[in-house]
Amino acid sequence: MRIEKANPSQLKEIFRIFIECKLSMELAHIFQWTDNYPTIHHISGDIGNGYLHSLNHNGKSLGVINISDIEEPEYNKIPWSDKEGKSLVIHRLAVHPNNQKQGLARMLMDFAENYAKENGYTSVKLDAYSGNERVLRFYENRGYEKRGEVNFTGRTLPFHCYELTLNV
């Protein structure tokens, strides 16, 4: 398995991962994603900007993660611990439902955190839907600390904002 920047030829395959994840979450009564987010336009932009990384096995994408230094405007109201350093931001972590519970999300997060350390970032930030208990536990078990909550249009529940301070 390899993690590398996603390329435009993978767009449809990667977007299918998001569609399948959305459907799977909805069956579990988790309404994290909507028909307006994420869209194929979001994913195309992620790929075009070089932010989306794909975990590939035998020529197939099994999961993806968006890593950049772009923070949501809503993050401005959060009392982050790392106020002076450089933060890596994680968005849109997704593993195809057929490949979940195999450690692939952990591999993608390890990749992002190592990337942050290797490139001089002092913290990693992300937000996670408060209605998705499994993902909240996942981040908390990795040492992420909740710093606050934000609300996004179209979602009834808030998103918890998490931060991992890095020792660089």
Give the tens place of pLDDT for each residue, 116-132: 999 999 999 999 999 99
Closest CA to 116 of 64, 164, 74: 164
Closest CA to 161 of 114, 134, 137, 129: 129
Task: Please provide the average confidence, as pLDDT, over all residues in the chain.
Answer: 95
Cross-strand bridge partners of residue 5:
53
Backbone angles phi, psi at 120, to 5 degrees: 75, 20
Q: How far is CA 21 from CA 17, 43, 62, 108, 117, in A?
A: 6, 14, 12, 16, 29
Closest CA to 17 of 69, 62, 51, 70: 62
Yes or no: say if 67 and 51 are a contact pair by the CB < 8 Å rule. Answer: yes
CATH number of the domain that residue 34 is part of:
3.40.630.30
Helices (H), 49-120: 104-118
> Residue 154's pLDDT band (boundaries 50, 70, 90)?
confident
Q: Give CA–CA dist 93/116, Å, rounded.
A: 16
Instruction: Give the structural domain span for 22.
Output: 2-165
Q: What pLDDT, on the 0 to 100 scale, is given for residue 153?
A: 84
Kindly report the pTM of this predicted structure: 0.94
* Total of domains in the chain: 1
Task: Specify the 3-state DSSP secondary structure of 134.
Answer: helix
